[in-house]
């Protein structure tokens, strides 16, 4: 049995000080990424996330993405990455369709209001129990009153975590091939049967990635 996050853990053990994530002046080592992902995993377990649950993530290509992504995988849950251009109704559709239990959403910018769209979509789907705003500065206040930031939620959570082993047929991520358009949110959507595709994990095991597509009526 193998969890894909164990590949990160192996790198953190072998090359703890080697750079894993680089964005401008920001440099994160494998050890730092793994420790931060462990905090996310501890948070999720505390909030009731269990193996097989689905956790959504809306985040551009920033250091936060791999940290949260691997943190979700460590718990045995499946990641549901969402296109950052989706509008609230589209987000709500995917949260409901994937039976998401928790949702991490980057705060966004004035030009790309991810948090506003994400929170609006979250409020439309009752079964989604948790919403976390990822702020660029972990110490920053939430852009939405009363909504928890990832930085504040991680306070007090440890940097060690024993990743939960998964089976070769367990789902690691649920991807949608639907385009990010406002038309997509209003048209009648029929979801085709999810196609299970296996991706090799260092040749030792494989983990399913389920690809969902939507057809126009």
Give the pLDDT confidence of 86-127 residue by residue, as tens digits.
999 999 999 999 999 999 999 999 999 999 999 999 999 999
Please state at what angle helix 5-14 crosses helix 64-74, rounded to 10 degrees. 110
The most confident of 26-30, 182-186, 194-198, by mean pLDDT: 26-30
| Model pLDDT, residue 107 | 97
Q: pLDDT band at 201, cuts 50/70/90? A: very low
**pLDDT tops 90 at residue 171:** yes
pLDDT tens digits, 15-65 = 999 999 999 999 999 999 999 999 999 999 999 999 999 999 999 999 999
Among the ranges given (5-14, 73-82, 205-214), the one the predictor scored with the smallest mean pLDDT: 205-214
The residues facing 202 across adjacent strands are: none
Residue 188 has pLDDT above 90, yes or no: no
Percent of the chain's residues with pLDDT above 90: 78
User: Tell me, what's the pLDDT at 176?
Assistant: 81
- Name the residue range of residue 77's domain: 5-216
Q: What is the pLDDT of residue 208?
A: 53
Q: Give the DSSP H/E element, type plus range, for residue 171.
A: strand 171-176
The 3-state DSSP class for residue 107 equals coil
74 neighbors 164 (Cβ within 8 angstroms)? yes
Which residues are CB-contacts of 23 (< 8 A; sequence separation ≥ 6)?
Answer: 61, 62, 63
Q: What is the dihedral of CA 192, 196, 199, 205, to 10 degrees?
A: 160
The domain that contains 111 carries what CATH number? Answer: 3.40.50.12780
Structural tokens at position 116? 């506003």
What's 55's DSSP letter? Answer: E
Which tokens in the block code for residue 210?
A: 């389920």
What mean pLDDT is predicted for residues 148-174?
95
In the DSSP assignment, the letter for residue 74 is H
Q: Are 122 and 114 in contact (CB under 8 A)?
A: no
pLDDT in the model for residue 189: 33
- What is the count of structural domains for the chain? 1
| pLDDT number for residue 2 | 81
Sign of the four-CA dihedral 174, 176, 181, 183: negative
Tell me what percent of the residues of the chain surpass a pLDDT of 70.
81
pLDDT at 178: 57
């Amino acid at each position: 049995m193998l969890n894909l996050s164990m590949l990160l853990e192996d790198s953190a053990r072998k090359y703890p000080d080697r750079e894993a994530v680089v964005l401008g002046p920001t440099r994160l080592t494998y050890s730092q990424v793994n420790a931060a992902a462990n905090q996310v995993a501890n948070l999720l377990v505390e909030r009731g996330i269990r193996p097989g649950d689905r956790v959504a993530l809306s985040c551009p290509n920033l250091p936060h993405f791999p940290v949260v992504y691997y943190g979700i995988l460590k718990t045995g849950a499946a990641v549901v990455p969402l296109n950052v251009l989706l509008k609230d109704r589209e987000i709500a559709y995917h949260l409901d369709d994937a039976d998401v239990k928790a949702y991490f959403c980057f705060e966004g910018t004035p030009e790309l209001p991810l948090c506003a769209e994400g929170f609006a979509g979250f409020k439309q789907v009752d079964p989604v129990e948790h919403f976390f705003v990822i702020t660029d500065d972990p110490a920053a206040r939430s852009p939405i009153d009363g909504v928890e930031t990832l930085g504040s939620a991680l306070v007090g959570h440890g940097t060690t975590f024993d990743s939960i082993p998964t089976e070769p047929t367990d789902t690691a991520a649920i991807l949608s091939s639907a385009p990010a358009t406002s038309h997509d949110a209003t048209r009648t959507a029929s979801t085709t049967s999810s196609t299970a595709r296996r991706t090799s994990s260092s040749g030792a095991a494989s983990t399913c990635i389920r690809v969902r597509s939507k057809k126009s009526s």
